[in-house]
Amino acid sequence: MIRKNADLLQYITEKLLKESEDTIIAQSFSSGKKIVDQKKRVFSVYIIKSGITKCYLTEDNGVDFIQEFFGEGEIFGELEAINGEVSFCCIEAINAVEVYKIEASYFNQLLEKDITFNKHILKALSKKLTYTAVRHAYNQSHTLEDNLLRLIHQFPTLIDEISKQDIANYLGITPRSLNRVLSTIKP
């Protein structure tokens, strides 16, 4: 649920930060701050140094659907940098977040010139795709109770770190339904 990428973060901090002359900058965002807005042009790629963000899509009816949560080392904005298209989702800080910000043009240069970086990005994209497919298949073939128990088992501090509204949006249910299920299960 909270995706992390320690290998990419380590490569950024141990190699690229030392080689980049102010082309990778640290930036901080407070809780609730939108880092990337839906259907807007994105000029940078971000790698999370610390904190948690949510990646969500606001539907035409105003309902938010959370695709996933990003933690340390997770990357976002890479699809927009590669494709040159507007963002598909919003990325919003859940708590205090620190990121490494890479301008899209420099990110694309790194993809072409740094084979190790390129492999890290391909691996990150592959993991995102796999995670999404597995998550949706599991959600479709299991009950809400099973889905919630699985999340709590994988992330014991889930209820403490992420609001019930966000958990409900992640599961595609209402907070009332979430509370009803929480009252019936014993993790």
What's the average model confidence in pLDDT over 108-121? Answer: 97
CB contact at 8 A, 156 and 165? no
The amino acid at 106: Y
Tell me the whole-structure pTM to 2 decimals: 0.88
Domain residue ranges in the chain:
2-141, 142-187
Q: How far is CA 90 from CA 49, 104, 121, in A?
A: 19, 17, 20
pLDDT score for 38? 95
Among 70, 46, 47, CA closest to 162: 70
CATH of domain 2-141: 2.60.120.10
The answer to whether the CB of 108 falls within 8 A of the CB of 140 is: no
pLDDT band with cut points at 50, 70 and 90 for residue 186: low
Output the CA angle 170-5-149, nearest 5 degrees.
35
Tell me what the mean pLDDT of segment 127-131 comes to. 90
**Mean pLDDT, to the nearest integer, of 61-79?**
93
